[in-house]
Amino acid sequence: MNEASIAGGATPRLALRTQLVRFVVTGGLSAVVDFGLLVVLMNLAGLDHTPAKALSFVAGTTTAYLINRRWTFQAEPSKRRFAAVVLLYGLTFVLQVGLFAVLYPWVLTLSGGQTAAQVVGFVIAQGVATAVNFVVQRALIFR
């Protein structure tokens, strides 16, 4: 797919590959924000892991939304889009945690190792959530 202008002088839509690369880069940066804030809130602010993770997740998700809206999908700001992204991230958070909850004991039984179960469960759950986020954002939210 080439980067081509949409009729009527609208902003050109970036090629799928360009959007995908930008989405992955943004996801990496957002993960740094999420994890960094989690560590700071737990170690320096003394918050328990659940409220610290809730706050860091919101910060990471907000970072992802702002960068993806402008850089990856080049979309104008919109309350509707923001609400849709919040809903999407809420659903994919449930998907990610649910997949991890199912995969972790299964992989633990197969591998016998806690670290292997954590890594495999996390990578698969994160991969599925990331794929769902990209497809829904590209096809529905930032089209």
Residue 72: its pLDDT value, please? 95
Residue 5: its pLDDT value, please? 39
Angle between helices 114-136 and 79-111 (to 10 degrees): 150
CB 110 within 8 A of CB 98: no
Q: For the chain, what's the residue count?
A: 143
CB 92 within 8 A of CB 86: no
Residue 10: its pLDDT value, please? 56
Q: Is 76 in a helix, a strand, or coil?
A: coil
32-54 confidence digits (pLDDT tens): 898 889 889 988 999 877 788 88
Give the highest mean pLDDT range of 54-58, 100-104, 125-129, 132-136.
132-136
Neighbours of 57 (CB within 10 A): 15
> Domain map of the chain by residue range?
13-74, 79-143
62-121 confidence digits (pLDDT tens): 899 999 999 999 998 889 988 998 899 999 888 888 888 888 889 889 988 877 888 888
Residue 19: its pLDDT value, please? 95
CB 133 within 8 A of CB 88: yes
The residue among 143 and 132 whose pLDDT is bigger is 132
Distances (CA, A) of 101 to 8, 89, 91, 98, 118: 48, 18, 15, 5, 10
| CA 143 – CA 134 distance, rounded (Å) | 12
